[in-house]
Each structure stands twice: as structure tokens, then as C-alpha cells.
Amino acid sequence: MKLSDWLVSSLAVVAISGCGQTASNQASEGPASSSVAPTLAQSSPSATVSAQSSPAAMAAGAPIASGIFASGEHPTQGTVNLITQDGKAFLELDPGFKTSEMGPDLVIALHRSANVLEPAKAPAYALKEGEYVVVAPLKAYRGAQRYEIPAGVNLADYKSAVIWCRKFNATFGSAKLGA
């Protein structure tokens, strides 16, 4: 068997097993181990999240903004995309997304500032009340994820996406959103 055939077969197995997970598997109380992406604690009734969305399903929407994460309090990397699909807005993290597992209460949020990290002070990069809206609790420390943005959020008001620890008001990473 050629290496390329083996890689394609392996990726297909990973994609199929990742898509077979249910929301009940995602709502555990604490980090769970998974070979695809470890999950985080709680789920949010205001946002639908699929931590193992397939890249093909994610690509179906119309992109409206994207950005690349810069590290803040902890190393964070990957790309974030805002898309619209079937009249709804979604925030998607790409398969290359990764952040630290050190946060007890990590969320994905939209922030009004395009440069969240520069005016804040290390090490925490604190956020100020009223400058952000929480989209949902972060479901996985790494990998492709999709979050439905609550209907009342005006995306034009927000210039970046952040991975933020509510408990310690620490911004793990920030991505400036652009067209």
C-alpha cells in the first residue's frame, strides 16, 4: 500500500469517528481525553457547537471575515472564520486551532477592538466588561470547531475573536477579523 493511500484511509477513519460523536459526549464535567480533540467542560444553551465538524461541512457557508490567532496569556494558534449559512452566523475554528489546556473556564468571544492584546497588560491581558460578547464555552483545546453566534449579535460591532478565561480574566489568544 502506498503512503498516500494509507494517509487517505487514515484521514477517512478519523473524519468518520469524529463526526459520529454526539453532543452528549461533549457535555462532560471536565476535560475528557480524545485522540481527535480533548473536550472542555460545559455546553451553552445559547450557542450550538460541534467540536468535530467536518471541513467539507464548514466550507459550505459564505465567509464574511477571518483572522489568525496571536498568543496572549498562553500559546494559541490557528485561524478563525465568521460565516453565514442558511440565515445564521457561525464562528469556526480551523483544524489547526490549538490553545493551552490551563484555563478552567475558557470561552470563545467576539471583541469590539481589533487589537485586544496591545492595550492590555501581560500576563493576563484582561478584558473590560461591555467590550465583548461571549459566543459559547470553548468545547475543545484544539481542532476544528463550529459555534452558532447568537441571533442578537451585530457582527459589524466586533473586530476580533478571542479565547478568554472568564474565571481569571485572562485572554489566551486573539485574532483580528478582516475581510
Please count the structural domains in the chain.
Answer: 1
Q: For residue 160, what is the domain's CATH number?
A: 2.60.40
H/E run at residue 177: none
Task: For 119-146, write each residue's pLDDT tens digit.
Answer: 767 777 899 999 999 999 999 999 999 9
In degrees, to the nearest 5, what angle opens at C-alpha 167 toward C-alphas 163 and 83? 25
User: Does residue 123 have a cis bond before it (omega within 30 degrees)?
Assistant: yes
pLDDT tens for the 179 residues of the chain, in order: 443 443 334 333 333 223 223 232 333 333 333 333 333 433 333 333 333 344 444 446 778 999 999 999 999 999 999 999 999 999 999 999 999 999 899 999 999 999 999 876 777 789 999 999 999 999 999 999 999 999 999 999 999 999 999 999 999 999 999 98
Give me the pLDDT at residue 81, please. Answer: 97
Handedness of CA 16, 18, 23, 28 (dihedral sign): positive
Domain with 23, as residue range(s), is: 3-176
